[in-house]
Structures are given as structure tokens and as C-alpha cells.
Structure 1
Amino acid sequence: MRKAFFILLALIVVGALAFYLLTMPVTLPASALPDHAPDIANGKIMFIAGGCAECHAAPKGACDDLDIEDETVLTGGRCLKANVGTFHVPNISPDKATGIGRWTMLDFVNAMKRGVAPGGVHLYPAFPYTSYQRMTFEDLIDLKAYLDTLPAVSSTVPAHALRFPYNIRRGLGLFKRLYVDGKTFAPDPEASDAVNRGAYLVLGPSHCGECHSPRNALGGIIQSQAFAGAKSPDGKGTTPNITPSKDGIGDWTEEDIVYLLETGSTPDFDVIGETMVPVQENMAKLSGDDRSAIAAFLKTLPPRPDAVKKSDTANGDDAAQD
């Protein structure tokens, strides 16, 4: 019995040590940052493409209200309800006490590319750094410079309310071992400049795949079904298939996609609704060239059947996501 106890104790110690080492935050050194003069105008474009305000600007009413008062007042406070609990979106205004005013450029880049906040704290991937990691260092520097020009507002946000074991933040280190490498988007030498620009926007700042792709039990995107639609994170309805298949946008032309991004209207004279509305409104603020680039890239995706079955409920949840 004594021998068995010590063997068990040794296994526990080894397991704890392995967990500690495997979940250690991985960050970039200061030497990784390029010598780049911030371009605030481009930072604003990245802010719009990334939909930062839709999550981080204060909602008009309740925390799950989609409407916002001012997209430049990034006090946080919105609730993101998921099957693992509720995420409370943080303040990212330049306030030094409750926002990110004390963050250095390296702190910001590590949050975006590695999902690590100052102090070595793992960030939850409800903040889509799994896509933001593909952004260039230059665009991230520009984005931080733009954020620093916005109003600094004091606003303390509640802690996330997640169920076990998702409330063990350290465990995110294991998730990152599988889904976070910090690599910047690499253009396809065989693709056109427009397609590469669209791919960069879709896969990076605009993080389209985060909502339009199904996930596995670990929360990672199932790449073989990427962009083929998914269950909504809050469990209400689905997000549509946006691959060029018969189940998706196979019948749409690039011009149809551009028109949707600009106006919110579909080729069959329907309109988008609910959570897609602010996304489309951001797309409308991008240049015509960027909208065309996004359309060109989407048409190059592998055609895939719907990854999830459409709900038969009559409450309109599915239509609201289209």
C-alpha cells in the first residue's frame, strides 16, 4: 500500500508538472516588432474590418443589446452567451485603470497574435485571436495607434461566468497548442492580388470563419468544414454556409456578394438581419476594392455542403443569421 501511494503521488506530481509546462503562455519578444511608423488611417480600417465596436462599444440597453451608443467609446460590458457560460466583453478604451491604456505595443501584439494579456494571462478565444494572429505586425501597430486616439473611459466589467472546467483559464494553454501558432497570413503566389487581399481580410481581421465554421469538442474550428455554416454560439439558430456550393452561395456572382456587403440585400431580394447587420454595416464602410476582394476570395473557397442542418423552428432564428 505504501509503495502504491508513492507511485500515485509521483504520477500526480509528474502530471501537474506536465500540465504546468504545456500550458505556459507563449509570447513574442520585443525584437519581433518591426520598425514601423503607425498609420492611424489604416488602423481605423483595421478597426472597422475587425468589427471591434460591435463587441467592445457599450450597448444602449442590456448587456446583450445589439445596439450601441457610440462605436468609439469602447467601454465593454456586452454579454456573449455561449454553451460554456457568459463572457463579459472587456473595456479596451485607452483608460489606464480599467482599459488598455497601460498596454505597450508589445502587450497589444501578444494579445492579438498569442491570446496573452499583460502578466501572462491567457485570454479566452471568444476574443478571436485565432484569426487575429494572421494579421501583419504593421496592421496591428496601426490598429493600436488608432485605439489610442479614442476616448479613455473608466468602466469596470464583471468577470466571465463560465462553468467548470472552462473557468480554469490556465487550461487554455492546451487549446493554444493546437490552434495558435502566431503566424502571419502568407499570400498565395498563385492567386491574384485581389484574392490575397480578400483572403487576408476574411481569415484575419474580419474573422469570418469564427462564426461561419463548425467547431469540435475542444472549441477549435473543423477545417474540413470551414465556412460551411455552424450553430450560433448562443445556441439560437445557425449561421449560413458561405462556400460556393449549392447549399451556400454557389449561385451568387461576385457582384452579388459585393452588393450584399454594401447594402445588406441578397440576390433573391431578401435582407440580412440580427447579428449580421453590424457586420454588413462595417463591410459597407470598407473600400469598394476591399469588398470586391472579399467576394473574389469567397468564390475560391472549396464548395462544401452545409455543416449543420437548418433548424425547422418557426421563430425565425435561422433567417435572422443570414
Structure 2
Amino acid sequence: MSSMLRRSLPWLLLLAVLLGAGALLVRYTRWEEKRVPLPPQGEAETDRHYQLRHWLAKQGVTLQTPSELGTLPPVTDTLVLTSPLWDVRQSREQDLKRWVEAGGHLVLFPNTDEAMLKLNPLGIEETSEWQLQREQRKAEAKARAAASGHAAPPEKSDEDEDDEDDEEDTAPATPASGPALPRVPPPPKCDWTAKDAGAQPFFAELPIYQLCRSPSTVFKSRDLPAWGVRDELGWRALRLPLGRGELTLSAWYPNLDNPDLMKHDHAPLLAAMLKLRPGRQVWLMGSASLPTLPSWLWQQAAPVLLLA
């Protein structure tokens, strides 16, 4: 009996250790369920605009994504230009302007507006968020100096302010007492709010949009836009009449092939920006396929090449 006990003792000790480790694991760990998105399959795997296309279809709108834009869409549709490289010919700029004046709706983003249409004749100025914030800081410093009766501090150059901003960003954090904890990247901030404004707000029941990450561009408009989105710094998107059509400029760029498009108030803002109406079409035009440099030179200057 004693020999059997001696043979069983190591196994009993091992069982006790395993039970103790299991008890510690259960006590000091927490089990949570986390949803992991499945990779796209079928049509969603080949169509990068699958989600946008189906969302627009639910609104009664058809999405067209041509690789080449030989002719402009009907003037009853909306044309969205997402890249300045879709066409670099000067003649296309005039074609676009005539198309809008005939009744089309053109949507542009900051990386395309200067390349396609000149904004100054429309009474629109484009500035950056940091420049407006710097002007506000200077105005507040002058107001404090005037209130205290002291002379205002000398204005700093752009390089000095940029250096100070960099120093603030790279300044080491004050070490806290206790053991150092691993740094966890902060979640994306979705606390930027913008107001649906202008002469004709698009959503009467949604006056405020809750969005992620404010854009860095601010528009200044000479006239009150027909529709727009603004915050305390100014207009972030606006729509102005141009002939019988309309031109929409947006500093907020929605990632049209990103699932985050359906989060928060991104989708309602996109609907207002595109001015969605059932039965219409949205033409989404990115970068057209550009010819290689040798073929482009041959098309443009074949006689010169032959002489050379």
C-alpha cells in the first residue's frame, strides 16, 4: 500500500499544481468576446465600392464608377471628383464649368478644386485650420495686453511658432509614481461636431453632425451658401449655385471604400454633400489611367521626336 502511495504521490502533486494554476488563471483573467470582421468575399472582394454602392441603392441612387470619362454625365446627375489626376487638360476645366452651368452638380475636395475650377471668382477663399488658430491666439494676446495696459509681445515668425509646436509635441511626459504601464494607443477621436447650416439645411431633424477628425481646411465664402457645414472656425463644406447647376466643395474627405463610412454621422453628411435624390445617379471619378511618358510624348510631339 505504501509503495502504491509513493508511486501516486508525484501525480497527485502535479494535479494539485495544475488545479492551483487553473484557479489563479480564472481569478486574475477576464474573458471577453470580441467581434472580428470577416474578410470580404464574393462581390465585395472585387468591388472596392461595394458598401457605398449598396448603401446608395437603398437610397434609390445608382453609382457609376467609370475608369475613363470620355463624355460628361447627364446634367441631372452628380459628378464627384476625388483626384486631381483624372484629367490635366485645360479644355476639360471649361467643359466642367459649362456642364455645371447647364444644371449639373459637381462635388470637389481640397485636392481637386484648384486644379479644376478657380474659386476666387465665386467668392471663396481657402485657408488652413492652424493659420486661423494662430490668428486667434495673436488676437487674444493683444486683447490681454490691452486689458492689462502693457505692450503687446512681439509677433513671432511662422518658423518660431512651428518650433514651439514641435517642442510641445515632443516634450517628455512627467513620470507618474508607481510602476510603468505599457502605452496603449488612444482610440480615434470622434468628438468633432459640425453644424448643418446655409440657406437650406439638408436635414432639418439632424442639425449637428457627430464626426471623427476635423479636416484641416477652412473655406471663407463671400455669399451665404445654399447648403453647408461649419464649426467655430468657418465653413468645412459648402454648396453654391453656378448657373443652373451647383458646385459643392468639401474639406471633409470621406473614405468612400472604408467601412467607417457607416459609423457615427458620416453617412448622413455624405448624403447631404451629394444631395441625394431617388432616381438620380452619382458618378465617382478618381484617377484616370494616364499614358506612359514615351507614348504621351509621341502623341503630343511626334514631329519633334522624329526630327530629334
Whether TM exceeds 0.5 here: the answer is: no
Tell me which interval the TM-score lies in, with the shorter structure as reference length: under 0.3
Q: Which has the larger radius of gyration?
A: 2
TM-score, normalised via structure 2 length? 0.22
TM-score, normalised via structure 1 length? 0.21
Higher RCO structure (Cα 8 Å, ≥6 apart): 2
